[in-house]
Structure 1
Amino acid sequence: MTNHIIVTIGRQFGSGGHEIGNKLAERLDIPLYDRNLVNMAAEQMKISPDAAEEVDETGLSRFLAYYASAPVDYSSYYMTNIEMGQPLSEQLYQVQSEIIKRLAGRSSCVIVGRCADSLLADEPNLINVFITASKEDRVKRIVEKYGLTERKAAERIKKIDRERRYYYELHTGKDWGSIESHDMLLNVSAMGIDGAVDALEALYKAKK
């Protein structure tokens, strides 16, 4: 355990969780760890970042690559550790978990997703939040960000949320997005992105 203050952010797809994490990290001048965790794990495992993203928290990379028509090599998706008998997804989770614990031991930081709240549950200065928003606001955000139709955006939201829920509950045994699993729930539709950042900044400074 350390005296660092760690902010972990769980989030519904399209709720603005990454943006909140990024703004908070900038205000507090501390590191943000999100998708860069995938690259760190891929480098340690000596696999391609594309293969790692395919079995990360969700299949989000598949969705982005499909709509951007970008060629992505997922040939490593079915790689297994012959000696351990583990699928790539579990290897990635274990490596990523160790990286998260190591980074939390170095300094205060903001970590988005990847079950960080559960992995760091013993940290004395953990701020564990889940970001939510109305379906209408999330659809609007995804339409604007990725240029999809509202129908396609709604489909992606349903799919990515389902995958994030499965990933979280599989590895933690807790209910994704519930108040029993998180210290607090912040509704961006009610308080806005900056309001959520303000609230987390105040909590961080109170702990400090």
Structure 2
Amino acid sequence: MSEYKIITISRQFGSGGHEIGEKLAERLGIPLYDNQLVTMAAEKLGYTEESVGRADESALNAFITSYGKSPISYASFINSASYMPSLDMKVYQKQTEIILSLAEKGPCVIVGRCADYILRDKYDCINVFICAEKADRIKRIAERYDLTEKKAWDRIRKTDRERKFYYETYTGLEWGSIYSHQALLNASLLGIDKIVDFLELVYRT
């Protein structure tokens, strides 16, 4: 077990998970890794950041459905002799390498990318799932991307489906379940700053 802690944050789209990670990292004086992981993976794979971004935490439905595989059976499928990795899988594998490398360097906050699963049993990790009420999520996304409430909700549902499928495909665990995460924190009930306070307390304990 390491002498330092890694904080991993899984989140519903529009719940404020990135903001929580940003504020927490700043308060603790440690690095935050979120979209930077896309840039790092693109550089190492030799692909454009745009193409890697499309594969990052995106749905793999079309690829897996073509083989008639469910997310839970995907792990056995990729070990088969006939398997040729898709861009999605290459991105996941490269981000896994990057996350492990970053964790070796010291304490940090990592948002998404199955980091809680990747770092399981290897580091002193605090892993949480951030959720929020529908109305608050719609308001946040509508304001951030200048969308109508309907378009904001459509985007939220699509992104959540993709994140859920991505997480469950690569981990075999249920996204957003208390059985998959150490704590589920509702940003609507607790507020972003109180969640940051709580996580700071846990980190420093």
TM-score normalised by structure 1 residue count:
0.86
Q: Per-residue displacement from partner, 1:109-147 (whole Å, max 9, x unpaired)? A: 000000000000113411000000001100000011111
Match of 1:175 in 2: 174
Cα pair 1:10 1:130 within 8 Å, conserved: yes
The alpha-carbon deviation at position 3 of structure 1 amounts to 2.1
Match of 1:75 in 2: none
Matches within 5 A, 1:93-108: 93-108=92-107
Match of 1:146 in 2: 145
Q: Does 1:164 align with 2:175?
A: no
Match of 1:190 in 2: 189
Q: Distance in 2 between matches of 1:34 and 1:190?
A: 24
Q: Distance in 2 between matches of 1:48 and 1:4?
A: 34
Structure 1 gaps, min length 5: 60-82
Match of 1:72 in 2: none
Q: Distance in 1 between matches of 2:137 and 2:20?
A: 14
Q: Distance in 2 between matches of 1:84 and 1:156?
A: 32
Structure 2 gaps, min length 5: 60-81
Matches within 5 A, 1:23-102: 23-58=23-58, 85-102=84-101
Q: Does 1:122 align with 2:126?
A: no
Cα pair 1:118 1:172 within 8 Å, conserved: yes
| Residues 12, 39 of structure 1: alpha-carbon distance in 2 compared, 3 angstrom cutoff | same
Match of 1:21 in 2: 21
The alpha-carbon deviation at position 176 of structure 1 amounts to 0.1
Q: Per-residue displacement from partner, 1:17-55 (whole Å, max 9, x unpaired)? A: 000000000000000000100100100011110010010
Q: Distance in 1 between matches of 2:45 and 2:4?
A: 27
Q: Distance in 2 between matches of 1:22 and 1:32?
A: 6
Q: What is the DSSP-based 3-state SS (H/G/I as helix, E as strand, rest coil) of the residue aligned with 1:86?
A: coil
TM-score normalised by structure 2 residue count:
0.87
Cα pair 2:56 2:91 within 8 Å, conserved: yes
The alpha-carbon deviation at position 86 of structure 1 amounts to 1.2
